[in-house]
Structure 1
Amino acid sequence: MKKPRPWPDTLFTRMFLIIAGLLFLSQLAVYWFFNIYQANPQAERLSRDWAQILTLSEALTPAQRQAVQPALMRQGLRIDAASAVHGRHPRSPVLANALHLLHRLGWPQAQLRTDDRHGMLWLQARPDATLALAMPMPRPPGLPLPWFKLAAILLLSWLGAYLAVRQVTRPLTRLMQGVARLRGGDDPADLPEAGPADLRRLAERFNQTLRDLQRMWKEREMVLVGVSHDLRTPLTRMRLSAEFLPVEEEARDEIIANVQEMDKVIHQFLDYARSGEQEPLVPTDLGPWLKRFVLRQHADVRWHPPATALPKMPIQEVGLARALQNLIDNALSHGGAPVEISAERVADDLLIRIRDHGPGIAEQCLETMRAPFAQAGKGGGVGLGLAIVERIVAYHHGRFTLANAPSGGLEVRLTLPLTH
C-alpha cells in the first residue's frame, strides 16, 4: 500500500501552488512596502499638527482657552483636565512613529493615549501637565480593510497562477488524452499545432508519430491477413488429401491432426489481425445475449444468472463473443472444468467473470500473460488468445484482469463501462 503524499502528485497542482505562493508573497511584500510608504508621511503630518496644537494650548491663558473651546469643538478637539485621560499606549505603528517624531520636534516629554472604545486620542505635553488635548482617532491610510486586502491579493494570485499554469499544462493534457485514445483503440485526432514554438514542435512530432504508427499497424495487419489466408488454402487441400488416404495408413490420423492444429494457429492469427477492425457498437440487452452465448457452449460451461437484470449497453457483438470464446477455450484447454460464467452490474460498469477450476497461473506470470505470444506452459497455440481479448476489451474502453481464485482456478474479469 502506497503511503499518502503530502505534496500533490499532478504537474498542474504543483505548478499552481508554487506560482500562486510566489505571487502571493510578492503581493504581500508590495502591500507592506506601500503601507510603509503611506504610513511615514501620515506620521510626519500628525506629529506637526500635534506640535502646533500643543504650542497653541500652552500659550493660551485659561480665559483664552475657554473662548476658543467652541471653535476647537467644531474641529473635533477639546481641552480637558488631565484627570479625564484614560486609555493605553498606542499600538498602531503610525501613531507610535508620530509620537516619536513629536519628541524630536521639541516635545520630548509628550505622552499619547488611545481610547479605542470611544475612538479618541489623548495628548499631554508632559506627564505632570494639568491639561490634556482630546481629538478623534486618525483614520488609517486610504486602503480597504485588511481582510479585504488579503482576499484580493489571494484571488489575484490564484488567477495569475491558473492562467500561467494552464498555458503550460493544456498542451500536455491534450497529449495525454491522445495517448489514452490511442491505447483504447480509437483513432486519435491530430493535436492542434498552435501555441509557443516548442509546444508546436511537440504536437507536430506527436502527430507524425501517430501517422507512422497507424501506417505500420495497417501494413502489419495486411501482411498478417494475407499470409494467413494464403496458408489456409494449401492446408485445406492437404487435409482433404489426407481424408482419402487408406484407413489403415498409420500416418493418416496424425497428418489430419497436425493440419487441424496448423489451421487453428492460422485462425488465431486472423482473429488477432481482425480484432483491430472497428466493428460498430450496437445497443444490446446483455442478460439474454450472454445466456444465448453460454447455451451454445460445451456442457462443462455453466451460466450463473445475475440476481438483477443486466442493463442494455453498446457492445461489439462479434468482437465480444470472440473474446469470451477465447477465454472459454483457454479455460477448457489449460484450466479445468467446469467453467463458470457470471455477470453483474457494479456501479457504472458491467463485470463479467469467467472462472475455471484448474491449477491457475503463477502470480509472477499474471501480468505478462496478456502480451502477444505469451504462454504459461505447454498446451498448443501461439499465445494470441489473451492478446485478442485485451484488444477487444480496449475498444470497449474496459479493463481486463487475471487473478487466481482463492479456492483454486483462474478467474478472468472483464470490466466494461456502461456508457462510453
Structure 2
Amino acid sequence: MRPRFWSDTLFARIFLLVGALLLASQLAVYWYFNVYQAERRAQFPAQNWAQILTLSESLGPAARAELAPTLARQGMDWRPASAMSGSHKLPAPLQSALQILHGLGWPEAEIRLDRRHDILWLRASPTSAHAIAMPLPRPAGPSPQWFKLSAILLLSLLGTFLIVRQLTRPLSRIIAGVADARTTETLPELPVAGPADVQRLAEKLNQALRDVHQLWKEREMVLLGVSHDLRTPLTRMRMLLEFLPPNTEVREELIANLREMDEILRQFLDYARSGQEEPSQVLDLPHWLEDFIERQGPDIQLDLPDERPLQARLRPVGLARILQNLIDNARRHAAPPFLLHLRREGTELVFVLRDHGSGIPAGDLENLERPFAVAGRGGGTGLGLAIVRRLVQAQRGALHFRDAVGGGLEVEVRLPER
C-alpha cells in the first residue's frame, strides 16, 4: 500500500487546499510589502542623507560650528573622520538606502554601523575630513502590517473551517447512518440537512435503504414460509418410513436424506431469524463453555484464561449457535484437532476457533461470510458462516478470519461485554 501524505476525508482535503491557497496569497502579500516595497521605503532615509550631505559639504567650518547646537538637538554631530568606527556590513534596508544615495549624486558616500555605541556614521567620500554621527535607527517594533496579515490569515482559516465543516458535517452524518444500517436490523433514517445537493443525496439514500430493507424482509418471509411449510410433508414422510421393515438399506438411506433436508431447513430458519429477539443474561463464561464443549466430543479442546470468575452479559442461545456453526463448519471443511480459545481484551470478549486443515486461499477469505459462498464444497448450504455473521452483528460484535501460524484457519469472534 502506498503511503498517504494527507487525509482522505473530504473535510481535510478541502480545508488543506483552501488553507494552502490562503497561505500562498498571504506569502504573495508579504513579498509585495517586504520585498517589492522595500526599495520605496529605503528612498526616505536616502533622501534625508542626501540633504544632510549637501548641507554638510556646502557649509564652512564656522557655519557648521554655528549650526552644531541645532543638529545636536536632533541627535546629530559633526566629527572628524578619524573618529569613525564600526562595520561597513549593513542590513538589507540600509544597504538599499545606500545604493539609492549613490544614485542621488553621492556615488562615494559610505555608511558605518557602530552597534557598540548605537551610532550611524555618514561620510560623503573616503577623502572627506569630517563625518556625521547620528543615532542608530531603532526598529519600531512589530510592523502593524504583520498584525494585519496575521489577522487576515487567522480569520480566513477560521472562516474556511466553518464553511467546510458546514458542508461536510451532513455528509459525515449520512456516512454514519449508512454504517449503522449494515449492523442493525432496524431501518435508520438518514438526516436530511445541509445544502440542497446533500439533502437530495440523503433523500435518495433513504429511499434506497427503504427498498433494500423491504427486499430483505420479503426474503426473510420467503425463507421462513418455505422452510416452515416444507417441514410438514417431511414429518409425514418420516412417519410413513416407520411402516417400512426395520434395518433395511432403503429405509436407512431415506431417513438419512430426510435428516439432511431437515438440517438444511433448520439453517434456512436460523438465517432468517435476526437473533435480536433473545434477551441477554449474565453468564459465567468458563463454566458455560466447559458444559458446551463437553457435549461436542473429544476433538474440541478448550483454552480458558486464568481470570476467574469471568462473567459477561450475553445471549446464551445466540452464543451457542455461533460456536456450534463454527465447529460444524470446521468439521465439514477442515481437520481436527480444534481449539477454542477465550480471552478478554479491554471491554471485549474474544473467542478464537483454530483448526488444523489446509487453510483457505487469501482471495477467498473475504467471501466466507457471504450466503451460499461455499455451498456444495464438502456438503452443506453455505449458510453456516452467514448465520454466524448475523448473530455476531446482532450482539454488536465483529467476525474475522485469518490463516493460523503453522497451518489451518483461525476464526475470531469479538463480542462486547454488556
Q: TM-score range by the shorter chain?
A: 0.7 to 0.9
Q: Distance in 2 between matches of 1:288 and 1:67?
A: 112
The answer to whether the Cα contact below 8 Å between 1:343 and 1:350 also exists between their aligned partners in 2 is yes
Deviation sequence 1:95-148 (CA, Å, 0-9, x none): 233333333444333222233444432211222111111222335577449998
Q: What pairs up with 1:14-33 in 2 under 5 angstroms?
A: 14-33=13-32
Unpaired runs of 5+ residues, structure 1, are none
Task: Give distance in 2, aligned partners of 1:9 and 1:288.
Answer: 47
Of 135-144 and 298-307, more deviation after overlay is shown by: 135-144
Q: Please list, as runs of the form range in 1=range in 2, the aligned pairs for 1:239-388 lying within 5 A after superposition.
A: 239-247=238-246, 250-275=249-274, 277=276, 279=278, 282=281, 284-309=283-308, 312-346=311-345, 349-375=348-374, 378-388=377-387
Cα displacement (A) at 1:271: 0.4
2:329 aligned partner, one-letter code: N
Alpha-carbon spacing, 1:191–1:130, altered in 2? closer, same or farther (3 Å): farther
State the alpha-carbon separation in 2 of the partners of residues 43 and 363 from structure 1.
71
Alignment of 1:134-283 (within 5 A): 134-140=133-139, 143-144=142-143, 159=158, 161-185=160-184, 187=186, 189-247=188-246, 250-275=249-274, 277=276, 279=278, 282=281
Query: Is the aligned partner of 1:46 residue 2:45?
Result: yes
Structure-2 residue corresponding to 1:391: 390
Change (3 A) 1:333 1:116: same
Match of 1:275, SS state, is coil
Aligned match of 2:33: 34
1:383 to partner: Cα distance? 0.9
Counterpart of 2:99? 100
Q: Does the CA-based 8 Å contact 1:90-1:113 persist in structure 2?
A: yes
CA distance in 2 between counterparts of 1:271 and 1:119 reads 92
Q: TM-score, normalized by length of structure 1?
A: 0.84
> In structure 1, what is the Cα distance between the partners aligned to 2:267 and 2:32?
76
Task: Give the superposition deviation at 1:343.
Answer: 0.6
- In 2: Cα distance, 1:180 partner to 1:408 partner: 34
> CA 1:233 to 1:376, structure 2 compared with 1: closer, same or farther past 3 Å?
closer
Give, as a single letter, the amino acid of the residue that structure 1 aligns with 2:229: D
How far off is 1:353 after superposition? 1.5
Q: 1:373 Cα shift?
A: 0.8
**CA-CA distance at 1:197 after TM superposition:** 2.3
Cα distance change on mapping 1:177 and 1:41 into 2, 3 Å: same
For the residue of structure 2 that corresponds to 1:80, the secondary structure is strand
For the 8 Å contact 2:187–2:210, the answer to whether it is kept is: no
* TM-score w.r.t. length of structure 2: 0.85
User: Per-residue CA shift, 1:346-404, capped at 9, x if unaligned?
Assistant: 45543212233445445554332322112275443211001111222233443323344
RMSD of aligned Cα (Å): 3.4
Contact 1:82 1:132 in 2 (8 A): yes
Distance 1:384 1:95, change over 3 A: same
Deviating more after overlay: 170-179 vs 74-83? 170-179
Q: Secondary structure at the match of 1:370?
A: coil
Distance 2:362 2:89 in 1: 75
Instruction: Structure 2: give runs of 5+ residues left out of the alignment.
Output: none
SS in 1 for 2:368: helix
CA distance 1:378–1:128, shift in 2 (3 Å): closer
Q: Structure 1 pair 339/36, CA: closer, same or farther in 2 (3 Å)? A: closer
The answer to whether the 8 A contact 1:181-1:188 is kept is no
**Distance across 2 between alignment mates of 1:310 and 1:15:** 52
Q: Relative to 1, partners in 2 of residues 1:107 and 1:411: Cα closer, same or farther, differing over 3 Å?
A: closer
Alpha carbons 2:334, 2:357 under 8 Å: kept? yes
- Distance of aligned partners of 1:75 and 1:331 in 2 relative to their CA distance in 1, 3 Å threshold: same
State the alpha-carbon separation in 1 of the partners of residues 311 and 66 from structure 2.
Answer: 97
> Percent of aligned positions with the same letter in both sequences?
53
2:132 counterpart residue number: 133
Per mean C-alpha deviation after superposition, the further-off stretch among 270-279 and 306-315 is: 306-315
Cα offset for 1:29? 0.7
Counterpart-to-counterpart distance in 1, 2:277 and 2:24: 54
Separation in structure 2 between the aligned mates of residue 215 and residue 185 of structure 1, nearest angstrom: 14
Separation (CA, whole Å) in 1 of partners of 2:362 and 2:50: 89
Kept after mapping to 2: 8 A contact 1:110/1:123: yes
